[in-house]
């Protein structure tokens, strides 16, 4: 396939979908607006996972940590100091991004050396450290009860309005997507992919692979911090439930579901998960079977996720026409 052509077509398709979202969602019921807002916030978190998984080849099971430092920062500043409820909201965004990056910069010192399954487990352990603090450090985090945010920021734009707030989240999502896209298309992103494919070769070529992965880890942390601010204001409550292992697991699965290494895949995964969880759950009690089943089937039969579906179909067609000529049914191993 012609890579450049399909690249342009893909960008156009993503832009068209975003435009459609921006038009359709605000006209829908407030239930849909809330659903889309939540899905977009998690899509930002999922994209931060994808930077690591899809481009650096590192599966993180602790991304909820960065979401929660951003969320707790927002909640603590708002509840204790009434800070971040006007124009200073933008300062909170900046602080949360910096705090997410700083946390990741610290955690990365431990985690980035590890590879494969060990990276998975060390990020899990780091995530649990943050959870432990959120759960037990009562004087700061209010423990199990969490912190309530009574009002959303109002700086000319009143974010208490669900539709206004949706647009804000939508804008953050679009900007993040664009910036991360530029990042992964840059020489830095290419080197990351090289490290994912064959780290040793990149080292021999003179790349400092640790530093590349470390920078990717910090960027992912910064993006996670951003998603935390938005999640705090979306949810109105920040509690240890935000930091639990399942949040990190969900973010990882969203990326795998949509397709790792595509950025928008995480957004698709997020939309599916929230759609199933919050829409299907109002219709049928067994929605979680559908969610679990979708996960299992995706992992078994679509290793490239939903974004890999077109390629998969082409491959399948090719294999069928080949098998008609008496050749192997097995798709070629890349």
Partner 1 sequence: MQFWLIQAFNGISYGALLFLLGSGLSLIFGVMRIVNLSHGSYFLWGGYIALSVIWATGSWGLSLPLAALAVALIGLVMERVFLRPLGFDPLRQVLLTVGFAYLFQQGALDIWGGNNMEINPPSALTHSVVLGGMYFPLYRLFMITTALAIGLTIWLGMEKTRVGAMVRATVDDAQMARGVGIDTNRVSMLIFALGALLAAVGGVIGGAFLGVYPGLDFEVLPLAFAVVIIGGMGSLGGAAIGAMLVGLADNFGKALFPELAYFTLYAPMVLILAIKPTGLFGRE
Residues near partner 1 (CB under 8 A): 59, 109-111, 113-114, 116-118, 120-122, 124-126, 128-129, 131-133, 135-139, 244-246, 249, 252-253, 256, 285-286, 288-289, 291-293, 295-296, 299-300, 303
Minimum CB separation of residue 131 from partner 1 in Å reads 7
Nearer to partner 1, 36 or 195 (CB): 195
Minimum CB separation of residue 73 from partner 1 in Å reads 18
Nearer to partner 1, 124 or 237 (CB): 124
Q: CA 139 to CA 152: how far, in whole Å?
A: 23
Nearer to partner 1, 83 or 287 (CB): 287
Q: Which residues pair with 158 in a beta bridge?
A: 154
**Pick from 208, 191, 53: which is nearest to 115 by CA?**
53
- Give yes or no for a contact between 60 and 221, defined as CB atoms under 8 angstroms apart: no
Q: How many CB atoms lie within 10 A of CB 320?
A: 10
Nearer to partner 1, 124 or 157 (CB): 124
Q: CA 274 to CA 265: how far, in whole Å?
A: 14
Minimum CB separation of residue 125 from partner 1 in Å reads 4
Q: Alpha-carbon torsion 103, 272, 152, 91, what sign? A: positive
Nearer to partner 1, 155 or 286 (CB): 286
| DSSP string covering 27-44 | HS-HHHHHHHHHHHHHHH
Minimum CB separation of residue 139 from partner 1 in Å reads 7
Minimum CB separation of residue 249 from partner 1 in Å reads 6
H or E segment to which residue 211 belongs: helix 209-235
Minimum CB separation of residue 298 from partner 1 in Å reads 8
Nearer to partner 1, 324 or 330 (CB): 330
Q: CA 135 to CA 128: how far, in whole Å?
A: 10
């Amino acid at each position: 396939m012609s890579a450049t052509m399909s690249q342009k077509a893909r960008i156009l398709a993503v832009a068209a979908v975003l435009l459609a979202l921006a038009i359709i969602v605000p006209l829908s019921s407030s239930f849909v607006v809330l659903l889309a807002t939540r899905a977009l916030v998690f899509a930002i978190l999922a994209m931060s996972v994808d930077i690591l998984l899809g481009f650096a080849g590192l599966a993180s099971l602790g991304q909820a940590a960065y979401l929660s430092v951003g969320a707790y920062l927002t909640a603590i500043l708002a509840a204790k100091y009434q800070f971040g409820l006007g124009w200073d909201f933008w300062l909170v965004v900046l602080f949360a991004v910096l705090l997410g990056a700083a946390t990741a910069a610290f955690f990365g010192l431990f985690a980035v050396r590890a590879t494969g399954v060990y990276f998975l487990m060390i990020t899990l352990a780091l995530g649990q450290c943050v959870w432990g603090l959120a759960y037990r450090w009562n004087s700061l985090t209010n423990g199990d009860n969490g912190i309530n945010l009574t009002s959303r920021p109002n700086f000319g734009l009143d974010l208490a309005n669900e539709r206004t707030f949706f647009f804000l989240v939508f804008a953050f999502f679009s900007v993040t997507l664009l910036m991360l896209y530029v990042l992964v298309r840059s020489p830095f992103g290419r080197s990351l992919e090289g490290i994912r494919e064959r780290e040793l070769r990149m080292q021999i070529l003179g790349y400092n692979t640790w530093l590349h992965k470390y920078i990717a880890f910090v960027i992912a942390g910064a993006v996670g911090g951003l998603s935390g601010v938005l999640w705090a204001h979306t949810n109105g409550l920040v509690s240890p439930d935000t930091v639990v292992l399942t949040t990190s697991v969900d973010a990882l699965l969203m990326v795998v579901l949509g397709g790792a290494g595509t950025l928008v895949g995480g957004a698709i995964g997020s939309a599916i998960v929230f759609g199933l969880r919050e829409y299907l759950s109002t219709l049928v009690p067994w929605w979680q079977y559908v969610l679990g089943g979708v996960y299992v089937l995706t992992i078994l039969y679509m290793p490239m996720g939903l974004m890999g579906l077109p390629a998969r179909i082409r491959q399948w067609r090719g294999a069928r026409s080949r098998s008609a000529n008496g050749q192997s049914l097995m798709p070629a191993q890349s």
